[in-house]
Structure formats: structure tokens, C-alpha cells
Amino acid sequence: IIGWCNWLFKKVPIIGWCNWLFKKVPIIGWCNWCNFCSLVWGFSAKSNIDTLFRKQKKGLRAVVPGFINYRYRDGEIPGHTKPHFADFGILTIHGIVALNAFLFLRKVRHFPSEIPKSVASTLSKDSPIPGSTHVSCENWLKSYDNHFYRRSLFFKGPLLFLSCDIEDSLPPVSFLTTKSHKNHVKGNLLKIQNEGEPTEWQSCNIPLYKFIT
């Protein structure tokens, strides 16, 4: 099969071209970095995440259909992007970080076979779960709310259960597989993202703002 694929790449130009494109075009690599590395950098300083959000909005303005003011010009601010995020069902960079964190926590708790044991063991068994409160997690907060863990997934990831009720509102079917869980969590994040003023971003649209500084 490997030899057949190599032959096909040589004989069918478009397939070889696509293979070259995936290696050369930075945006494709950026998408992989954004989705799979956000568990590492996603809970850093708010200013860092907002910088990526500005880049994300700038990129969206460049590809949406029709005319949209791309940058600040002659006293006119760049075009609003919130309606386009809603129309195309796109999560903001904050939503991507939250979604991947929820998926990681779900795998650790309910699908440990999908991740290495060494990774699953990094999350404390006393960390918050859906329905937890600050009172019930008091000992965990005392142990992990320090300079070593404060900006990491292992502290701020479980805090999602204390700061928003996304998991509490999921239907039972969403817990059968990780794919179903991902789809339902993404749907809830999109609902939160689209609430309030239709054109202006508000803090209520971004659950991460409740505990990143």
C-alpha cells in the first residue's frame, strides 16, 4: 500500500501538490498547533490569548464574503466579526482552549484508555468535577492555587467546572463517546459565544475570562 501511494503521488499532480501545500503553508500548521497545543499555552496571561484573538479576527475579516473594513482606516474601526463567528459556527481562540480542556478532563475521568497513563495521572483526583463548589474543593484549591500550577491546565482546567455550567447542561447521550461529548460542548460554547449584543464582544461570551488574568 505504501508503494501504491508513492506511485499515486507521482502520477496524479493534484495529490502531490496538496501534500506539498500541507507542508509549506503556515496556516495549516498553525491550525494543528492551535488545536493540539492549546492545553499547554491556553491558560497563560489574558493578554497573550487576546493577542491571538486579534489575529483570529483579522484573518476572518480577510476571508468572509463581501466587503468588510479590514483595518482601522480614516477614523473607521475594523468591521465587526462576531456575526461571522456565529454564521459559520466558529469558536474563538478562547472557545477552542475551553473545548480542548473539557475534552481532556473528560478523557481523564471517563475515557482514560484514550490517553497515556502518565498524562492521566497528572490530574489530581481531588480536582473539581461537574457539580463541585469552592467549599467542596477547598483542600484542592489550597494545594494547587500557587505560582507553580496557577497558569497550567492542571489548575485552571478543572476551574472550568466551578466557573460555568456547560457540563451540567449536557444531555446523557453526550457522555457515551468523546466525539458526542465534543459536539455537545462545542454547541454550548457557541451558544454562550453568541449571547448578548449581536456585534460587540462581551465578557459573558468568553468563559475563560472568569479566571485568566
- Kindly report, residue by residue over 119-175, the tens digit of the pLDDT: 888 888 888 888 888 888 889 999 888 888 888 888 888 888 887 778 777 888 888
pTM for the model stands at 0.77
| pLDDT given at position 92 | 93
- Cell (9 digits) for 30: 498553525
Q: Which residue has the cell 496571561?
A: 45
**Cell numbers found for residue 121:** 495521572
The angle, 0 to 180 degrees and rounded to 10, between the axes of the packed helices 93-110 and 153-163 is 100
Contact 43, 160 (CB under 8 A): no
Model confidence pLDDT, tens digit, residues 71-106: 777 777 778 889 999 999 999 999 999 999 999 988
pLDDT grade, residue 20 (50/70/90)? Answer: very low
d(CA 9, CA 11): 6
The burial class, CB within 10 Å (0-12 / 13-18 / 19+), for 160 is: buried
